[in-house]
Structure 1
């Protein structure tokens, strides 16, 4: 199956008796070089090679910071459950304590627990563009979750799914996983320029993360940065005017 046109429709259900923040941890859908092996990343092994899409239901980072009595600022806060994607090259680790934030390509909030209607996730990879959509509101309408260009995934990898509960518990039901080979029309020039992808990667990865949650500034942070910069300029201008007037007054006194 060629990764130039792949689609995966996931019908799932997450439910349990745990109340808010007393459930976990989530499920994952995989397209990886390695076959499934038990491990700490939503039930699969760490340092995987390929794509992982995670439905994370427990905010480990928030609870970790609370335990250390450190302030959890709105700039870094994400609302859980949260869907995110990660591309691994075999040497990247998933940071469990930070909910995968350092390696996250993008994501969205998805309130999927204990719903009475069906919940769906659709993963689409066409022309090196990764798109994830969700249908969780019972309206039979897809909503965009993330759209990342420049994703490079090799052919011939394995699809799979896994889940993990940890110290807390939840039921993770995988009702169906339907795979599609999407038709992609390419020109003769595009076929000639097509290169074989050997290692999963993402173009401009650092720019993507700087524009997102890891290391980037939110709109509020940018606003205050610009505001304080302008105030600083006005303050320097006012000081300059005062010094100029003082110098002019002294010059007139020496002249007379």
Structure 2
């Protein structure tokens, strides 16, 4: 009769001890959950810029309007060696066939730096997980948009919008996350120098791997942020929650390694793709090609007509000489 109470007591003690083990639970200083509001318009541990708007239910980085950009950045550097970042978000708008541009989840050395890369600076140091929704995409792609990709930068690489960053991405996958009625989540896991990006877009409460890349070196002490932008095309980019978990890996010999001063690096990059003009230039090129082909066809017809006339004249002269 005393067996069941003992097991219950043991289970309760395990739950209590797990609650005190912060490595098994969310790091609150790097997480953002409802209610967002602190005192006044501030959010504890977070700063926001640009068009970012805080509501009771979501944080809207950009409205569905042209030429907007917004960002939210964690104010506490992340010194966790192995971690998993889970972001609950929603991208939606009025556009049916044309929409954009997208948002980026950052793990970067510098924070609150506005710029051309989805609202953040170019030539950054760190990791970018890019959720690109720009439907009029550029370049000779073998994928559709929306598209998720990863970029690791040591500060020397340029993000090329004309190529949608395909020449610097380490991996990517197609992902239909726009204008869905159910919740959409993305998970970024960095464990033992392996970067794994997973998604939950099918409303099944289960992760689906997007890609995994080994031999990724990321420093500690960088900042977590999310930025979004719109251009000629637009969307609402809403963040509902951000949760960072420290992974407890006691058997990892590199767990005690000092990573504070290394440069971000990746041993593998996707094969670069040749640069092509953007769609406006391509349309212009197609028009020019059409006119060139038309001129060439007219010239060919003129040559044929002149040739026929010359042949007839030659035949006529030959008959005159014969008589």
TM-score computed with the length of structure 2 as normaliser: 0.57
Instruction: Tell me the residue number matched to 1:209.
Output: 270
Give the drift of 1:60: 5.1
Instruction: Tell me the residue number matched to 2:22.
Output: none
Written as runs of structure 1 = structure 2, the 5 A alignment for 1:43-62 is 43-59=119-135, 61-62=137-138
In 2, Cα distance between the equivalents of 1:37 and 1:78?
A: 30
**Contact 2:196–2:211 at 8 Å: present in 1 too?**
yes
Q: Which structure's CA Rg is the greater one?
A: 2
**Contact 2:103–2:130 at 8 Å: present in 1 too?**
yes
Q: Displaced runs of 4+ in structure 1, greater than 4 A?
A: none
In 1, Cα distance between the equivalents of 2:135 and 2:124?
A: 22
Instruction: Report the 3-state secondary structure (helix = DSSP H, G, I; strand = E; otherwise coil) of the residue aligned with 2:163.
Output: coil
Give the drift of 1:195: 5.8
Structure 2: which 5+ runs fail to align? Answer: 1-77, 275-323
**Contact 1:4–1:128 at 8 Å: present in 2 too?**
no
Instruction: Tell me the residue number matched to 1:157.
Output: 222
Structure 1: which 5+ runs fail to align? Answer: 66-71, 216-256
Distance 1:202-1:58 versus aligned 2 partners, 3 A rule: same
TM-score computed with the length of structure 1 as normaliser: 0.72
In 1, Cα distance between the equivalents of 2:117 and 2:266?
A: 20
Instruction: Tell me the residue number matched to 1:13.
Output: 90
**Contact 1:59–1:99 at 8 Å: present in 2 too?**
no
Instruction: Report the 3-state secondary structure (helix = DSSP H, G, I; strand = E; otherwise coil) of the residue aligned with 1:156.
Output: coil
Give the drift of 1:4: 2.8
Question: Could you say what the CA RMSD is over the residues aligned between the two structures, in angstroms?
Answer: 1.9
Give the drift of 1:3: 4.5
In 1, Cα distance between the equivalents of 2:219 and 2:206?
A: 30
In 1, Cα distance between the equivalents of 2:128 and 2:226?
A: 9
245, 250, 253: which one aligns with 1:185: 250
Instruction: Tell me the residue number matched to 1:228.
Output: none
Instruction: Tell me the residue number matched to 1:95.
Output: 160
In 1, Cα distance between the equivalents of 2:266 and 2:220?
A: 15
The number of equivalent residue pairs is: 196
